[in-house]
Structure formats: structure tokens, C-alpha cells
């Protein structure tokens, strides 16, 4: 029986899955797979299957924000996903992190509401060690600067953005948080509770320090295509979880 929201039957999806926010982003990077095929499309959720260096891979969209992403992740796990990497964007709050660079979060501040429905706020939102190591190894040949540390997930993004110019951005700068985004803590918490491996790779598309943003389509596509290549390589990583 097909899972209700993502319209996929158990076993149809690969164990290795790249997660993205939107169907458009998934379509953008599907060509990086060998023999890509559209598996499902329903609401904000689409899924593609294909191969990368002979290994079966899938790409799926999880929607915008924690509630939509939690539905997608829960159903993907039920369908057989075991190793997952989320590709997304982040707004930098640090002076040394600029647009076009990459962030590999070790953990995330739980400023989302969805993960609070799963477990007490004291429970940490952390990346899977093996997925983090895979991303670090796979990104070594990138010409982009790579940053690693804690991201801050927040549901009300405009309250923590350069558009709002609020006190909270100053607070996060003092804590050494790398930037603000909208879903990573939700994914980290659910993945840990469900016993699957999940990491994240985020492209910096805005900076609260410089007030710059990336808006050019070609520049955004180049960023996402490189992140997808890094993510596919990371999913091949066979390190052991310790």
C-alpha cells in the first residue's frame, strides 16, 4: 500500500536518499543521477530514483518547514530509507561566512516547534556521525569554503533574518551559531529517534552581516548541483557509526 502523503510503497525508494525542500530543486539535480526516473508526485512531495556510480539513489522533496518535513521523513523511513542527507540553504550570521560557501552542521539549535512534539527540548538535535564524516570527506575537493558547527533552526524565519534586523541575530552571533535556517533540527531529532542516519549540507544564500543574497538562477543552480554531487558521494561513505 502506498504511503499516504509521499505516494510511495515500501521498497520503492532507495536506502540512500537526498532530501530537498521543493520539487523544483529535486528536478534540478535529478540529471546528476544515471537513468533518473520520476517515482511519485503528490502535493509538495516528489521522488526520483536513479543510480550514482552504480549505487541506487533517490531524491525527494520534504516541503517547507518542520511540519511538512516530519511527514516526509517519517514516511520515507517507513518506505525503507536508512541513510539520508538534507540539502538546503542557510542565512549566515557570522562575518567570516559568505554567500556561496557551504555549511555542514554538527548540530542545530531547536528553535522549531515540530520536534517539541516528539521529545523534550533538552534532547539534542545532532547530525549522524557517519553522515557528517561522509560530507566532510566528500567536500574536500570543493573550491568553496566549508564551515562546520551549529546551525539554528527557527520556524519564524523572518524574525531571525536580515529583513527583520532583530536583537535575536545579535544574540546568535555571540553564541557562535553559524546561521539561521528552517528545518534541520526537526530532521536531526526524528532521524535519531527512528534510528536512521541523517546529515545536512547547507548552501549560504544570504548574509545578515553583509546583507547580500544569491538570487541569480544560474548561481543557485550551480550551488545546488555541487551540493548534490557532494551528497551523493557522502552517501557512498562506509564509515562506522561509533
* Dist CA 150 CA 92 (whole Å): 11
- Give CA 82 to chain center in angstroms: 15
- The count of domains in the chain is 1
Q: What stretches in the chain show pLDDT beneath 70?
A: 157-170, 240-242
Closest CA to 97 of 138, 152, 155, 137: 152
In this structure, are residues 72 and 61 in contact, taking their beta carbons and an 8 Å threshold? yes
Please report whether residue 62 resides in a domain.
Answer: yes
* Dist CA 38 CA 54 (whole Å): 18
Please report whether residue 4 resides in a domain.
Answer: no
Predicted structure pTM score: 0.94
Please report whether residue 170 resides in a domain.
Answer: yes
Please report whether residue 84 resides in a domain.
Answer: yes
Please report whether residue 11 resides in a domain.
Answer: no
In this structure, are residues 225 and 29 in contact, taking their beta carbons and an 8 Å threshold? yes
In this structure, are residues 106 and 132 in contact, taking their beta carbons and an 8 Å threshold? yes
Domain that includes residue 204, residue range: 16-235
pLDDT of residue 239: 73
Please report whether residue 242 resides in a domain.
Answer: no
pLDDT of residue 85: 99
Please report whether residue 51 resides in a domain.
Answer: yes
Please report whether residue 9 resides in a domain.
Answer: no
pLDDT of residue 168: 52
Contacts of 109 (CB under 8 A, 6+ apart): 125, 150, 151, 152, 153, 154, 172, 177, 185
- The CATH number assigned to the domain holding 137 equals 3.40.50.1580
Amino acid at each position: 500500500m502506498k504511503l499516504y502523503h509521499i505516494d510511495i510503497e515500501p521498497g520503492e525508494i532507495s536506502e540512500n536518499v537526498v532530501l530537498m525542500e521543493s520539487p523544483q530543486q529535486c528536478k534540478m539535480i535529478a540529471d546528476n543521477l544515471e537513468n533518473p526516473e520520476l517515482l511519485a508526485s503528490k502535493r509538495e512531495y516528489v521522488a526520483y530514483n536513479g543510480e550514482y556510480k552504480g549505487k541506487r539513489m533517490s531524491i525527494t522533496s520534504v516541503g517547507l518547514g518542520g511540519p511538512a518535513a516530519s511527514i516526509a521523513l517519517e514516511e520515507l523511513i517507513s518506505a525503507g530509507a536508512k541513510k539520508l542527507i538534507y540539502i538546503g540553504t542557510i542565512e549566515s550570521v557570522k562575518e567570516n561566512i559568505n554567500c556561496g560557501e557551504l555549511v555542514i552542521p554538527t548540530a542545530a539549535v531547536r528553535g522549531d516547534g515540530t520536534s517539541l512534539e516528539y521529545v523534550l527540548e533538552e534532547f539534542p538535535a545532532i547530525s549522524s556521525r557517519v553522515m557528517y564524516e561522509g560530507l566532510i570527506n566528500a567536500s574536500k575537493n570543493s573550491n568553496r569554503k566549508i564551515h562546520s558547527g551549529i546551525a539554528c533552526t527557527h520556524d519564524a524565519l523572518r524574525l531571525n533574518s536580515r529583513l527583520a534586523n532583530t536583537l535575536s541575530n545579535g544574540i546568535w552571533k555571540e553564541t557562535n551559531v553559524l546561521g539561521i535556517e528552517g528545518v534541520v533540527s526537526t530532521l536531526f531529532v526524528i532521524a535519531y529517534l527512528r534510528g536512521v542516519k541523517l546529515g545536512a549540507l547547507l548552501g549560504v544564500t544570504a548574509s545578515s552581516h553583509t546583507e547580500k543574497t544569491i538570487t541569480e538562477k544560474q548561481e543557485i543552480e550551480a550551488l545546488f548541483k555541487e551540493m548534490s554531487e557532494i551528497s551523493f558521494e557522502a552517501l557512498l561513505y562506509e564509515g562506522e557509526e561509533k
